[in-house]
Structure 1
Amino acid sequence: MNRLLKHVSVVFVSTFMLTSMLSHAASLPDFTELVEEASPAVVNISTEQTATTKTANEGGQQLGPNSEELNEFFKHFFGQQPFGQQAPPQQQRPRSSLGSGFIISQDGYVLTNNHVIDEADVIHVRLNDRREYIAKLVGTDPRTDLALLKIDAENLPIVKMGDSDKLKPGQWVLAIGSPFGFDYTVTAGIVSATGRNLPSDSYVPFIQTDVAINPGNSGGPLFNLDGEVVGINSQIYTRSGGFMGVSFAIPSNVVMSVVDQLKQDGKVSRAWLGVLIQDVNNELAESFGLDRPSGALISRVLPDSPAEKSGLKSGDIIMVFNGKKIEHSAELPYVVGQMKAGEKVDAKVYRDGKEQTISVTLEARPNDPKALAQSQQDQNRLGMIVGEVPADMAKKFDIESGVIIEQVMGGTAARNGLQQGDVITMLNGKRIDGVAAFTEIAKAIPNDRSVPMRVIRQGYPMFIPFKIVE
């Protein structure tokens, strides 16, 4: 009797476990039909370029401030040369990069990442059925890392574009691409987060996933379970240089807004507001009289900008722009960048303890190569961006003069322990009366020698040794 009971118990437990496993398996998505339908519209992209080799490793481009000093960094991926076949320094040679893309129209328009085809002399597009074409570059948008290609073909298979705004964390997504040159590799995972802002990209609210993305996946599509493209795989976050469970895709809604302009003009024109902004932390929220941290704090209004012409001021906090609520300062550049020059919009700002609405007519972003180059050079040397101290902050902490650090970009500023929100009042024994004065004094600082810097951090003044290391 005992043996019979034991036997029945074993059979019952085994049956229960098998039923549970089958039930669990049934709840997981089956991607086979999706892959069969979508794969024909996914392409392999390779390029040829005659380039001067400066380093042996051309496998990827590191992004973000002072990336060589960070343990974690963002990477764009190119194709990699086989080990042992790197050319010696300064040798002219053809270079081939490898990536992915997908067809969006039957007459041959193809989308991929800009960094996949950047500076290429020849772009090859190979289809799922092994047909191969030389692609024409229609246009690029480096700010969103997108490129539009055109191949001479008709009646091509195409992808279905989806609405990335409907994505929610936890939803299943799938990627098809050519990691390490292995064509039409399928990987799947879930949406980890949406609206991610990365240090190097202020115009893209990235989709974060845990889908395995590796070199060669760049430019490939990210699908939802309906077989619609909801993003373009672009970057990963890594310590080792390989996939570590965090990848990023450009949302499809951003993609299609760029595609229309690339088709028409071959480039993308964006609206410009003309302000320097920073996040509102708890201390700043309290000092301005806000209930909680929210909005984009204007630390500087650029001269002759749409912001100045509309009456926006330093110290204003933009809470809503063109009907879209601004929770974090990083959201504002994307909202403005989606608009066109000449559009008139309303900005709801918090000023002097109350909200008011200001009408702003946006303009085209100015393009002054010399000014941009000089600004970039100064930022790289100091590793920070500074602006005027907001009036309310100056009053609260009794700050007579100085500049506030709006962004620490790495390098010198990071090495010296400076932080966003610090106010610099004195440098190398000289009083800082504003941004222009700070820039001139900073230019005269010698390399590899410490000079005194007076900093006010959350109301507490202190001196630190400031040293620029080239």
Structure 2
Amino acid sequence: MKRFGLTLLTAFVGGTLAIGAYKVMENRYDDNLSFEDKQKVYFTNNPLNNNITSSAGEVDFTQAAAAVTPAVVYIRTTYAASSQDNDMSDMFGQLFGQRMPRQQQRAPQASGSGVIISPDGYIVTNNHVVDKAEKISVTTNDHRILQAKVIGKDPNTDLALIKVEATNLPIVKLGNSDDVRVGEWVLAVGNPFNLTSTVTAGIVSAKGRGIGIIGSNNDDDDNPFTPSRNAPQPKVRQGIESFIQTDAAINPGNSGGALVNTRGELIGINSAIASHTGSYEGYGFAIPVNLAKKVLNDIKRFGSVKRGYVGINYVDLSDPDQAAAVKSDKSVGLYIDGVTTGGGAAAAGLQHGDIITKVDGSMITESSDLTEHVGRMQPGDKVKLTVDRDGKERSFDVTLKATAGEVASLAGNSATDKALFDKVGATFRPLNESQKSKYHVSSGVVVNSVSEGGMIDELGLTSGSVITSVNRTPINSVQDLSSAIDASNRRGTLILSGKNPDGSSFNNVYTLR
């Protein structure tokens, strides 16, 4: 009996030590897991209710709403006070139907939504929800108010990762946006008009939408696309757009909220609405979760996104005007308008005039098919591009590079081109007559390629932007641009004016260092 008791005690002590050691190792291991792997562990221990229906089954959203709502948070941001901010807040308050009495030197505030994706406090939201905020306050579904810090932001996808100091938070299960089908039921969960924990239902009405919202000034009266956030929007550069389009009601304040399927799985982050009034008029747009997974894991691990580049400039042939500009009779595919020296495409053998028809075997009907696919990959990854070259189909294995490359071959590689690239981090080409007609301008140069971190990149200009003047002086050639930039060094300020690829105007100011 004594021997049995001793054996039992020994087993108990040994088990306790083993559990303790396991917990220590588990915590260390957990820090190195991706968000998706963390969730696999979480949902193994906390399975979702099996009664949640699929979109093909009985239409009952109660279980999906109950699973998601606790993990969607209300985000309130505060900004530095200025009279200009007060004027802007008054204007947007009237636009969105909110009564916002003017207060002298009041710190401007805005609101949006976020989705908890990790029990230890990581939250995904839109970049435009938290960009330039001095203070970020998060209110959970159980009414706790927590202060958040920004872990990282990615303007190219309009995503941001923030964190609160908390544990055992409810989370939304990450789904697979590749499996999303047009016509399936979805729910949008967020905080429109400061109405917390609001759930709306609709269907997926389209996939792979590019609407020109990322990088647009939104100052065109005819532009119906508006970020769904209760605040003036900062300018972000043209980025990766492959939105899931839905007719679930999305309004200002829904930005950063969850788009989920009827199984309660996150398939997108709500970001924008199509509206001429600033409120819901029929369509909302969400960033696919598969793209978000890569961006968020990179931000958590590296502090920024490690993006791979093909190294080409292209024309989307689904746009008849662009197809006509390059004299192509094709209506689908991407016409390679320039191959970047030192890029992956050049090394693989792609050429100017090739038309990309497939990426890793999937058909390309518009540019978002390529940009989203490559946007999920890392530098060093390989992508198979199938092209139409002189009527014959050929395939190339392209190794993605960590930068877009050096000087694009289309620029001519002259001494002026290289010197200008060193100064501003971009290459340029003359504006042709078709482009002058399209943008209603009489002069200018087209931005051909942009190096990340350079002056042109910091100004928010992208490939396809048209610079028509520097410091109010018209530009007719690359040499004119180079001379005008040299002259601006004496003034200390550079004012670039022109047209964004979507046709909207810009007047961007750069302070020379």
What TM-score, normalized by structure 2, do the two folds share? 0.61
**Do residues 106 (structure 1) and 122 (structure 2) align?**
no
CA shift in 2, pair 1:406/1:268, >3 Å = farther
What is aligned with 1:344?
382
1:209-228 alignment runs, 5 A limit: 209-228=246-265
Output the CA distance in 1 between the equivalents of 2:173 and 2:140. 17
Alpha carbons 1:42, 1:128 under 8 Å: kept: yes
Deviation digits for residues 399-424 of structure 1 (CA, Å, limit 9, x no counterpart)? xxx5764996x6758xxxxxxxxxxx
Name the counterpart of 1:321: 359
Q: Per-residue displacement from partner, 1:205-233 (whole Å, max 9, x unpaired)? A: 11111111111111110111111111111
**Alpha-carbon distance between aligned partners in 1 of 2:316 and 2:295, rounded to the nearest angstrom:** 27
8 Å Cα contact 1:344-1:360 kept in structure 2: yes
Is 1:143 matched up with 2:142? no
Q: What is the letter of the counterpart of residue 311 of structure 1?
A: G
- Tell me the residue number matched to 1:186: 199
Change (3 A) 1:164 1:60: farther
Cα distance in 2, alignment partners of residues 373 and 328 from structure 1: 33
Correspondence for 1:362 among 400, 403, 410: 400
Going from structure 1 to structure 2, the CA distance change for 1:437 and 1:304 (only over 3 Å counts) comes to: farther
RMSD: 3.9
Matches of 1:412 and 1:406 in 2, distance apart? 5
Q: Is the 8 A contact 2:204 2:244 kept in 1?
A: yes
2:336 to 284, 298, 308: 298
Aligned to 1:278: 315
Residue of structure 2 equivalent to 1:35? 65
The answer for the alignment partner of 2:241 in structure 1 is 204
Q: Taking structure 1 as reference, are residues 358 and 167 closer, same or farther at Cα in structure 2, changes over 3 Å only?
A: closer
| C-alpha distance in structure 1 between counterparts of 2:163 and 2:110, whole Å | 18
The one-letter code of the counterpart of 1:350 is D
Going from structure 1 to structure 2, the CA distance change for 1:100 and 1:200 (only over 3 Å counts) comes to: closer
Query: 1:93-138 CA deviation, whole Å, 9 max, x = no partner?
Result: 4221111112111111111111111111111111111111111211
Letter in 1 for 2:291: V
The question of 1:255 aligning with 2:286 is answered no
| Equivalent residue letter for 2:348 | S
CA positional deviation for 1:262: 1.3
Would the alpha carbon gap of residues 136 and 442 (structure 1) be closer, same or farther in structure 2, given more than 3 Å must change? closer
> Structure 1 residues 241, 276: CA separation in 2 closer, same or farther (over 3 Å shift)?
same
Native 8 Å contact 1:234 1:249 kept in 2: yes
CA apart distance, 1:173: 1.0
Contact 2:340 2:404 in 1 (8 A): no
> Is 1:232 paired with 2:269?
yes
Question: Structure 1 residue 84: deviation in Å?
Answer: 4.5
Amino acid at match of 1:302: T
Q: CA deviation at 1:45?
A: 0.7
* Corresponding position of 2:345: 307
Matched, 1:50 2:80: yes
Deviation at 1:162, TM superposition (A): 1.3
Shift of 1:372: 11
The structural deviation recorded for 1:54 is 2.5
Query: 2:188 is paired with a residue of what secondary structure?
Result: strand
Distance 1:129 1:259, change over 3 A: same
Distance apart, 1:439 and its partner CA: 6.3
Tell me, yes or no, if the aligned pair for 2:72 and 2:140 is still in contact at 8 Å. yes
Alignment of 1:88-167 (within 5 A): 93-167=106-180
Give the SS at the match of 2:75.
strand
Q: Displacement of 1:293 after TM fit? A: 3.0
1:204 and 1:254 in contact (8 A); partners too: no
What runs of 5+ residues in structure 1 fail to find an aligned partner? 1-26, 62-76, 379-384, 389-401, 414-433, 444-467
Post-superposition CA distance 1:296-337 (Å, at most 9, x none) = 101122334333333322111112233333222343233332
**Which amino acid in structure 1 is aligned with residue 164 of structure 2?**
I
Letter in 2 for 1:47: T
Supply the distance in 1 between the matched residues of 2:141 and 2:506 (Cα, whole angstroms). 51
AA aligned to 1:266 is G
Q: How far apart are 1:170 and its partner, in Å?
A: 1.6
Over 3 Å counting, the alpha-carbon distance change for 1:435 and 1:246 in structure 2 is: farther
The answer on whether the counterparts of 2:74 and 2:191 sit within 8 Å (CA) in structure 1 is yes
Structural mapping, 1:370-385, within 5 Å = none
Tell me the residue number matched to 1:242.
Answer: 279
Map of 1:446 onto structure 2: none
Q: Matched residue of 2:291: which SS?
A: helix
Structure 1 residues 159, 57: closer, same or farther in 2, change over 3 A?
same
1:175 to 181, 184, 188: 188
Tell me the equivalent position of 2:10. Answer: none
The verdict on how the C-alpha distance between 1:322 and 1:83 changes in structure 2, with shifts beyond 3 A counting, is same
- C-alpha contact 2:268 2:286 (8 A) present in aligned 1: yes
Instruction: State how many pairs are aligned.
Output: 359
User: How far is 1:188 from its partner?
Assistant: 1.2
Paired with 1:229 and 1:469, the residues of 2 have a C-alpha distance of: 36
- Percent identity between the two aligned chains: 40
Aligned-partner Cα distance in 2 for 1:289–1:101? 44
CA distance in 1, matches of 2:211, 2:429: 20
Bigger strand share: 1
